Structure 1
């Protein structure tokens, strides 16, 4: 009973500190974003972009400090690349938990350009954070079902247009575009429903990756392929600060993006679409094998 109470207090304290950190950083962030929005002078906008990145990096630094000092979770990482703060990167990652995001930010903050995620449009209404994501040019995507498109054909292609618009902004600044290709967090029920051919992963969706490759073909430099696993059990953010998550094992591979995958037309070119899908599935098979290896190594380490 006492242990349960202490864990609850830790989670409440962490939530308060995370909220305070967000409020302290988001206030100047929004002021700079407002200056950027009202000016049309490119040098001023470039300075604003740099200031916004610095504020965001400071925000993540504080969150990472809390990760290190307020939890007992151990992040074990192999293949962490040297610092590359300039350039344009595609970061391809499997998705196990919301904890994946602070782990990625902890590992890559100030090492790669700031990570930007494609977010569901509803997330713009999240208090404080929604405005921060907007200020940092995170793309908000509205997905339409097949039934919605059948009723309103004008909706077809709007998500593609929004992706291209976001990627046009990214051409001007150093960026790491994060794609959780599974589209959602791994759950055994979803895995069974999909009849996924992978042991530890949901089926990847190649469309989002293809849109980024097509829209940023000339500027994308490198693929950062990240595989995350939780050998002691998966949990969410509350579990992290309640110390119910042990080791988090991360494998990173930094690879060139094949030239033949860039600059095509995924929507209309069947051969290009097949190349992209084959490449994404190949990466996912490699991830599945990596998770097998990491889990086996973990079992041997405990023996």
Structure 2
């Protein structure tokens, strides 16, 4: 019986993972076709079709992380703005686990802006098979750790977004790494940084870094409409016995949950209200993260009227299955078709292997 339960639990996350990762050769093949077909056309044709392809794949991700798991999403704050606008934005968020990346998909879905999502990513991800190469083609920006941050290169890529008039949700995690209660060294380094800067240490977030946001605000201030300030809390990050905070679920853990709860606090800040000078912007960002820390303290409070929620009224965000199921059916059908035929399997593995090698070589040369 235990063996059956173990295998059932494993299948709950392993099958979705196999479909999502296994669809990468199909995705990169479709992207290559789009790139070739739009070479002689104005850039907006490539951007539009690439955004559509990216949206199609990310809706496959949403199928598993929302429709499949039955995730319950509670929104707080400026909910009317989120549900009724369609803007170019800079998206800043606290960072706890790998599922944080998917929160941008969830929030972009009501605005039909999933294809616009671009990330500022850690440099090491550029060698991720197939997708490391693709994210650069999708106008994402790779940056090295703080001490090696190449501002000139990042500024050039951001200027390209503006000059090419590329629609964008630019996702930035200012903390630079995850706030995980199981990593006391990371928390201690953040505490020491706060003391060195003469500020009170945070309890539930890390001290944010301003460089990435500074560049984005400087280069995109006339291209984006607002900063979306997002705070995430996971319902499954509380120890039931003690009520203390524990690590947020990663992707595998999240896929294994039934009806996981997501609590998301959302604020829109018009770009004209954001300071432009670095010192002022740094203080503004610290204030935003101080507010995030208060929100998270409310969520992890042991008081019955506070714990497990953010302050204020919430609305439930529902993503219709009709927007995610077609992507699941499409990519699943492509995967089955390719793997069910000898020539399909040959094409599949050659695409996966050669595509990964060529992508990594290209990234090395461009770096």
After TM superposition, the score normalised by the length of structure 1 is 0.82
Task: Please say if residues 117 and 138 of structure 1, whose CA atoms lie closer than 8 Å, have aligned partners that are also in contact.
Answer: yes
Task: Please say if residues 21 and 62 of structure 1, whose CA atoms lie closer than 8 Å, have aligned partners that are also in contact.
Answer: no
Partner of 2:345: none
Alpha-carbon separation, structure 1, partners of 2:93 and 2:214: 15
Partner of 2:14: 12
- Classify 1:299/1:55 alpha carbon distance in 2 versus 1 (closer, same or farther; 3 Å): farther
Query: 1:34-67 CA distances to partner (integer Å, 9 max, x unpaired)?
Result: 555x55xxx5211110000111111111211122
- Classify 1:94/1:278 alpha carbon distance in 2 versus 1 (closer, same or farther; 3 Å): same
TM-fit CA distance, 1:84? 3.7
Aligned partner of residue 205 in structure 2, secondary structure: coil
Query: 1:171-208 CA distances to partner (integer Å, 9 max, x unpaired)?
Result: 11110111100001112311123215111000000111
Aligned partner of residue 49 in structure 1, secondary structure: helix
Aligned residues: 278
Matched, 1:291 2:292: no
Aligned partner of residue 257 in structure 2, secondary structure: coil
Task: Please say if residues 226 and 252 of structure 1, whose CA atoms lie closer than 8 Å, have aligned partners that are also in contact.
Answer: yes
- Written as runs of structure 1 = structure 2, the 5 A alignment for 1:1-303 is 1=2, 2-34=4-36, 39=40, 44-78=42-76, 79-80=78-79, 81-85=82-86, 87-109=87-109, 111=111, 112=113, 114-143=116-145, 145=147, 159-171=150-162, 172-188=165-181, 189=184, 190-195=186-191, 197-233=201-237, 234-243=248-257, 246-259=260-273, 261-262=275-276, 272-296=277-301, 299-300=304-305
Partner of 2:326: none
5+ residue gaps, structure 2, are 195-200, 238-247, 309-367
Alpha-carbon separation, structure 2, partners of 1:110 and 1:31: 29
Higher relative contact order (CA 8 A, sep 6+): 2
TM-fit CA distance, 1:89? 0.8
Task: Please say if residues 73 and 240 of structure 1, whose CA atoms lie closer than 8 Å, have aligned partners that are also in contact.
Answer: no
Query: 1:246-273 CA distances to partner (integer Å, 9 max, x unpaired)?
Result: 31211111121345623xxxxxxxxx32
TM-fit CA distance, 1:244? 7.6
Task: Please say if residues 77 and 249 of structure 1, whose CA atoms lie closer than 8 Å, have aligned partners that are also in contact.
Answer: yes
Task: Please say if residues 233 and 262 of structure 2, whose CA atoms lie closer than 8 Å, have aligned partners that are also in contact.
Answer: yes
- Classify 1:298/1:7 alpha carbon distance in 2 versus 1 (closer, same or farther; 3 Å): farther
Which structure's CA Rg is the greater one?
2
Task: Please say if residues 300 and 307 of structure 2, whose CA atoms lie closer than 8 Å, have aligned partners that are also in contact.
Answer: no
